Amino acid sequence: MLLLRCPLPLLLLLLPLDSRPQKLPTRDEELFQMQIRDKAFFHDSSVIPDGAEISSYLFRDTPKRYFFVVEEDNTPLAVTVTPCDAPLEWKLSVQELPEEASGEGSGDPEPLEQQKQQITSEEGTELFSYKGNDVEYFVSSSSPSGLYQLDLLSTEKDTHFKVYATTTPESDQPYPELPYDPRIDVTSLGRTTVTLAWKPSPTASLLRQPIQYCIVINKEHNFKSLCAVEAKLSSDDAFMMAPKPGLDFSPFDFAHFGFPADNNSGKERGFLKSPKFGRQTSPKPRVDLHRVCVGNKNIFTVSDLKPDTQYYFDMFAVNTNTNMSTAYVGTFARTKEEAKQKTVELKDGKVTDVFIKRKGAKFLRFAPVSSHQKVTFSVHSCLDAVQIQVRRDGKLLLSQSVEGVRQFQLRGKAKAKYLVRLKGSKKGASMLKILATTRPNKQSFPPLPEDTRIKAFDKLRTCSSVTVAWLGTQERNKFCIYKREVDDNYNEEQKKREQNQCLGPDTRKKSEKVLCKYFHSQNIQKAVTTETIRGLQPGKSYLLDVYVIGHGGHSVKYQSKLVKTRKFC
Determine the Cα–Cα distance for residues 197 and 331; give it in Å rounded to an integer.
Answer: 11
What's the pLDDT score for residue 383?
A: 82
What's the pLDDT score for residue 327?
A: 93
Q: How far is CA 314 from CA 40, 217, 225, in A?
A: 32, 7, 9
What's the pLDDT score for residue 11?
A: 44
Q: Regarding beta strands 194-197 and 299-302, do their DSSP bridges make them parallel or antiparallel, or are they unpaired?
A: antiparallel
The answer to whether position 400 is within a domain reads yes
Q: Could you give the maximum distance between any two Cα atoms of the chain, in Å?
A: 117
Each residue of 72-101: pLDDT tens digit? 888 889 999 999 888 899 999 998 876 654
Q: What is the CATH number of the domain that holds 219?
A: 2.60.40.10
Q: Which among 437, 470, 505 is the end of a domain?
A: 437
44 and 188 share one domain: no
The answer to whether position 120 is within a domain reads no
Determine the Cα–Cα distance for residues 223 and 312; give it in Å rounded to an integer.
Answer: 9
Each residue of 479-537: pLDDT tens digit? 999 999 998 887 766 666 667 778 889 889 999 999 999 988 888 888 899 999 999 99
The answer to whether position 519 is within a domain reads yes
402 and 477 share one domain: no
Q: Which among 377, 404, 437 is the end of a domain?
A: 437
Determine the Cα–Cα distance for residues 68 and 61; give it in Å rounded to an integer.
Answer: 23
431 and 420 share one domain: yes
Number of folded domains in the chain? 4
210 and 316 share one domain: yes
The answer to whether position 16 is within a domain reads no
Each residue of 112-122: pLDDT tens digit? 344 444 555 56
159 and 191 share one domain: no
The answer to whether position 107 is within a domain reads no
The answer to whether position 444 is within a domain reads no
What's the pLDDT score for residue 403?
A: 84
Determine the Cα–Cα distance for residues 549 and 480; give it in Å rounded to an integer.
Answer: 8
81 and 209 share one domain: no
Each residue of 400-437: pLDDT tens digit? 998 888 888 898 888 889 999 999 888 888 889 999 99
Write down the pTM of the prediction: 0.49
224: number of CA atoms within 13 Å, CB side?
13
207 and 326 share one domain: yes
pLDDT top residue among 233 and 45: 233
The answer to whether position 197 is within a domain reads yes
Q: Which among 321, 338, 355 is the end of a domain?
A: 338
Integer-rounded Cα Rg, in Å, for the chain is 38
- What is the DSSP secondary-structure string of 257-281? SSSPPPTTTTTSGGGPPPPPPSS--
What's the average model confidence in pLDDT over 197-217?
88
pLDDT level of residue 384 (50, 70, 90 thresholds): confident
Kindly report the length of the chain. 569
The answer to whether position 507 is within a domain reads yes
Q: What is the CATH number of the domain that holds 84?
A: 2.60.120.680
What's the pLDDT score for residue 1?
A: 38
83 and 164 share one domain: yes
- The overall average pLDDT reported for the chain is 78
pLDDT level of residue 6 (50, 70, 90 thresholds): very low
303 and 184 share one domain: yes
300 and 200 share one domain: yes
82 and 189 share one domain: no
Each residue of 297-324: pLDDT tens digit? 999 999 999 999 999 999 999 998 888 8
Each residue of 254-299: pLDDT tens digit? 333 333 334 443 333 332 233 333 334 444 554 478 999 999 999 9
CB 433 within 8 A of CB 554: yes
Domain that holds residue 61: 40-96+125-172
143 and 192 share one domain: no
